[in-house]
Amino acid sequence: MDELVRAIEATLFASATPLSVEEIAEHVGEAGVEVALGKLAVDYEGRGIELVERGGRWHFQTAPDLAHLLRRTREEPRRLSRAATETLAIVAYHEPVSRAEIEAIRGVQISKGTLDVLMEAGWVRTAGRREGPGRPLLYATTPEFLTHFGLSSRRDLPGIDDLKAAGLLDPLDEGIFQALNQEQLESEEQED
Amino acid sequence: MDELVRAIEATLFASATPLSVEEIAEHVGEAGVEVALGKLAVDYEGRGIELVERGGRWHFQTAPDLAHLLRRTREEPRRLSRAATETLAIVAYHEPVSRAEIEAIRGVQISKGTLDVLMEAGWVRTAGRREGPGRPLLYATTPEFLTHFGLSSRRDLPGIDDLKAAGLLDPLDEGIFQALNQEQLESEEQED
Amino acid sequence: MGVEPLDFPVGSDELTLNLDGWEGPLDLLLSLARAQKVDLAQISILELVDQYTTYIAGARALKLEIAADYLVMAAWLAYLKSCLLLPKDPQADPSPEEVALRLQMRLQRLDAMRETGARLLGRDRVGRDVFVRGAPEGLRLVRKSAWQASAFDLFAAYGIVKARTQPPMHVVHARSVMTLDEAIERVSRMLGLAIEWLDIEAFLPVTDDPLFRRSALASSFVAALELARRGRLDIAQEEPFAPLKVRSA
């Protein structure tokens, strides 16, 4: 067996976290890591363990079809509320996105804890501020998000191409509810 | 690939502890675990990972010949302390020399770490014991010492007269060396 | 979260309508729309407006506290409906149809995020469906010191050691003095010239150094006394503080 492939196999196997090609190269001290990773991935095809790439970082994991043997409980590793699930999806499909934009899409304010839960899980991070009025803080997903949900990259997000084509990921047209005459609204409210 | 072998491979990979044949059988829910373990061990022969049995329990581990890859060393430049520099100079001028002799020449005791640092740096080695009372361990310089300091042999060390001519033996001039590197002095204080 | 709105027997006295079950008016609208059609692009906005206002009216009939944002939405929808039904106003920008379309897009977008969120959670997740290594050995970073020292540092250090441990040696710097021996020797030599009385200052060497001159004067005076004791010269002084005169004996 190719010595470089062996070395990469051992390094990834021993690592407690996924490793980028650069990090692997620092350990094995050689060029040609990418080609060797390809060979290694082929070696593991169809086995009980597989070599996967998630957001540019590589790790070994058990084959998904063996989940039933390994799952110790039916409990999800981290139960997410509906609000947190929606918020995570909005961040992933629209990133970088401000809190106000998340709220506009959901049509409701998000409670303080919702983003905290996602950040604590290591799936969402802050991603600078948007230049413009108020310089709102922006949120984006992390490499751990891709790892956890088994996504090679954000392009792998379920249905992202269809949503994009349907215009559903375009910047939100704010203020459609304000598009109608504000006075009119107020007078109707008093009527009610 | 044999489904049972796959299941065992995944089970051992995901387990936080080595597993006995009985424990594996509980997970994979099948007989024939021992035969499958044998097949799996053969699959991994010569790879970067190996399947091993220790006291009736099985686990994967990285191949022993690749252990060096799992420890990456990073070199950080550090100035030699004044105590260490003086000790090195005494060893160079008086080798082979015992620790007690170094202390007598320095006029100051040396800490345990000082000679360790010089040996770690590869500049000083032990050079047998002196026959006589206590049979003290002797120290001498290494070929790397000569290389590092640009000396072709120990005869290239400047003599006492050269040092005197260079003003390096003038007691009144000690102040200039104190000015050389305050950090060195401080580290010496901590060391000694 | 949910109260299924359309299963709701409106008008029943035992009914407790829980608006807290909805995450805002948009959530309620989306549920109504989904009950109407699977494909949100096909829903009837006019029908949706009616369903929403009916629902809110039902809640109000039960004298429930209804949050203001639900009422604002109801009013806005009623207004949108009237705009859609009234003869077209060519001046209106955006047109009521466009506003209706945007509302529909918003519902579709929220629905899409809800659906993709569920799909994300259903993927093969690490720690639930796929597992990473249970007990990784871990990769370690070992810091190694690259010790720095130059040949000069080394030689200087040896110089310091030697200097520190050398037996103390006191070197008196050459100072501008004339020793007594020098003065005796000098005055004796010059006595041959002193046949007549000479001022003692005539015996002093020529110098610009005032310290040396003082030293030479003092030494020469003591030398004169010594030579007088030996009977080699005579010393005379006419009065206190007058110049000292010296003559060969």
Q: Specify the residue for token string 């799936």.
A: A123
Write out pLDDT tens, residues A43-70. Answer: 999 999 999 999 999 999 999 999 888 8
Choose the mutation target among B3, B6, B45 for the interface with A, i.e. most A CBs under 10 Å. Answer: B6
* Minimum Cα–Cα distance from A94: chain C residue: C113
What are the Cα distances from residue A21, in Å, to A14, A30, A55, A62? 15, 11, 11, 21
At C75, list the tokens.
């009013």
Instruction: Express each pLDDT in C114-169 by its tens digit.
Output: 999 999 999 989 888 888 988 888 887 777 778 888 888 888 888 888 877 766 65
Q: Report yes or no: B125 and B133 within 8 Å, Cβ to Cβ.
A: no
C157 interfacial to chain A (CB closer than 8 Å):
no
The 10s digit of each residue's pLDDT in A80-121 is 888 999 999 999 999 999 999 999 999 888 887 899 999 998
Distance from CA of C38 to the nearest CA of A (A): 16
Nearest alpha-carbon partner for C134 in A85, B60, B92: B60
Angle between helices A33-43 and A21-28 (to 10 degrees): 100
Q: What is the DSSP letter of C87?
A: P
pLDDT tens, residue by residue, C65-85: 777 888 889 999 999 999 888
- The verdict on a CB contact (< 8 Å) between C135 and B160 is no
Q: CA C226, CA B24: separation in Å to the nearest integer? A: 117
Higher per-residue confidence, A163 vs A76:
A163
Long-range contacts of C13-20 (CB under 8 A, 24+ apart): C15/C62, C17/C58, C17/C59, C17/C62, C17/C64, C19/C59, C19/C64, C19/C65, C19/C66, C19/C67, C19/C70
DSSP helix/strand/coil, B18: coil
Quote the DSSP letter at residue B156. G
Instruction: Please report the ipTM that was assigned to this predicted complex.
Output: 0.66
| Residue closest to C106 by CA, chosen among A103, A48, A111, A70 | A103
CB contact under 8 A, C159 and B92: no
| Residues B89-137: tens digit of each pLDDT | 999 999 899 999 999 888 888 888 899 999 988 899 999 998 888 899 9
Mean pLDDT for C43-59 is 89
Taking phi over 0 as left and psi of -120 to 50 as alpha, with beta for the rest, A107 belongs to: left
Q: What are phi and psi of B71, to 5 degrees?
A: -115, 110
**B169 φ/ψ angles, rounded to the nearest 5 degrees:** -110, 5
Q: Measured between alpha carbons, how far apart are the two ends of chain B, in Å?
A: 64
> What H or E segment, with its residue span, contains residue C119?
helix C96-121
Question: What residues pair up with A53 in beta bridges, in sequence order?
Answer: A58
**CB atoms inside a 10 Å sphere around CB A74:** 6
Chain A residues in contact with chain B using a Cβ-Cβ cutoff of 8 Å: 1, 5-11, 13-14, 26-28, 46-49, 60, 62-63, 66, 69-70
Mean pLDDT for C159-186 is 76
Q: What are phi and psi of A33, to 5 degrees?
A: -65, -40
Judge whether residue B165 has pLDDT over 60: yes
Residue with tokens 């790397």: B144
Contacts of A59 in chain C (CB under 8 A): 132
Secondary structure class of A57 (helix, strand, coil):
strand
